[in-house]
């Protein structure tokens, strides 16, 4: 079954001067324009292509990979505002529409927003929305306490940072549950801290203390990182917390504890400038 707004592997069934046609099953033959045809592509070959609708609402293929696909969320920039809505840059020639009724707040040109991408059930068009709660789950169906998840920071409230969780849920990281200020559009690892009685999700970017062997796991990751960088690293216990978080996704305190553990086990040496792997 062909999935509009997603990557599909389709067979070449015909070549023409302006491109090739792919077997689109119930959608019929789908054109891959000449400028996207890989060199040497021939009838019978299978190609990985993204399927969407062109400006005439005809189904068309491209070998370009967009910045976001149907069912996903992304931080995208507005290229243009017109009477239909806002048009976002998602890496394809035809920009991605956010109708006015799918804008949480009126969008502005040249600003970026976190949006969810979906197929409009009425038009069949690929559409985006910044009304995240309209399309994503607010209750934690299928999530577990302390589960590691992927967070996309979507906004800020009086209590903390609004987030998209695994492209499926919306949740909140309270200010005290992050070692630093989180930026809208940032993608970072996080953990399910609490599932409230109403099903809503509280998250943390601090590695939970009760994750069993979490400290040992971080220590192991530090050793692997050292091995990958010739046995030396300038990321010490004196380093900026943001640099530590960017590399390992943990707070400076957790990182210092892991270094201390490795030092006591005589697996590393620590100086003001660097840490060194003990051979």
Instruction: Report the pLDDT averaged over residues 132-141.
Output: 92
Quote the pLDDT of residue 161.
97
**Which residue spans of the chain are classified as CATH 1.10.10.10?**
214-277
Question: Domain 214-277: which CATH class?
Answer: mainly alpha
- Host H or E run for residue 77: strand 73-82
**Three-class DSSP category at 243:** helix
Q: Which residue has the tokens 């910045």?
A: 67
CA-CA-CA-CA torsion for 210, 216, 218, 222, nearest 10 degrees?
170
Q: What is the pLDDT of residues 250-261, one digit of tens each?
A: 777 778 888 988
pLDDT above 80: residue 62: yes
Instruction: Report the pLDDT averaged over residues 118-123.
Output: 92
Domain 73-134, CATH: 2.40.50.140
Question: Average model confidence (pLDDT) for the chain?
Answer: 91
**Which residue spans of the chain are classified as CATH 2.40.50.140?**
7-62, 73-134, 148-204
DSSP string, 163-227: EEETTTEEEEEEGGG-SSPPPTT-EEEEEEEEE-TTS-EEEESSPPTTSSSHHHHHHHHHHHHHH
7-62 folds as: OB fold (Dihydrolipoamide Acetyltransferase, E2P) (2.40.50)
- At 245, the pLDDT band (50, 70, 90 cuts) reads confident
Quote the pLDDT of residue 256.
85
Q: What is the pLDDT of residues 162-216, one digit of tens each?
A: 999 999 999 999 999 998 999 999 999 999 999 988 889 999 998 776 554 555 6
> Which one, of 276, 245, 244, lies nearest residue 263 by Cα?
276
- At 142, the pLDDT band (50, 70, 90 cuts) reads confident
pLDDT above 90: residue 151: yes
Instruction: Report the pLDDT averaged over residues 102-130.
Output: 96
Instruction: Report the pLDDT averaged over residues 124-129.
Output: 95
How far is the C-alpha of 132 from the C-alpha of 123, rounded, in Å?
A: 20
Candidates 2.40.30.40, 2.40.50.140, 3.50.30.10, 3.90.180.10; CATH matching 148-204: 2.40.50.140
Q: What is the pLDDT of residues 12-61, one digit of tens each?
A: 999 999 999 999 999 999 999 999 999 999 999 999 999 999 888 899 99
Quote the pLDDT of residue 212.
46
Quote the pLDDT of residue 275.
93
């Amino acid at each position: 079954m062909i999935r509009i707004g997603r990557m599909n592997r389709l067979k070449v069934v015909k070549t023409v001067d302006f491109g090739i046609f792919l077997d689109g099953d119930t959608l019929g033959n789908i054109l891959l324009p000449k400028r996207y045809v890989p060199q040497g592509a021939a009838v019978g070959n299978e190609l990985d292509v993204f399927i969407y609708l062109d400006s005439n609402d005809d189904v068309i293929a491209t070998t370009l990979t967009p910045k976001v696909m149907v069912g996903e969320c992304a931080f995208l920039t507005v290229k243009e505002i017109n009477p239909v809505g806002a048009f976002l840059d998602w890496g394809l020639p035809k920009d991605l529409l956010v109708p006015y009724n799918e804008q949480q707040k009126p969008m502005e040109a040249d600003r970026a927003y976190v949006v969810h991408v979906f197929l409009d059930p009425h038009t069949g068009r690929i559409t985006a929305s910044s009304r995240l709660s309209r399309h994503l789950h607010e209750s934690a169906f299928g999530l577990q306490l302390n589960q590691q998840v992927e967070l996309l920071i979507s906004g800020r409230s009086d209590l903390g940072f609004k987030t998209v969780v695994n492209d499926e849920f919306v949740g909140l990281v309270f200010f005290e549950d992050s070692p630093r200020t989180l930026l809208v559009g940032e993608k970072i690892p996080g953990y399910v801290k609490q599932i409230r009685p109403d099903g809503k999700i509280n998250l943390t970017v601090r590695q939970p203390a009760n994750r069993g062997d979490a400290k040992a796991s971080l220590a192991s990751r530090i050793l692997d990182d050292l091995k990958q960088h010739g046995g030396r690293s300038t990321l010490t216990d004196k380093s900026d917390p943001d640099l530590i978080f960017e590399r390992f996704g943990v707070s400076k305190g957790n990182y210092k504890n892991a270094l201390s553990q490795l030092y006591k086990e005589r697996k590393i040496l620590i100086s003001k400038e660097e840490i060194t792997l003990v051979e």
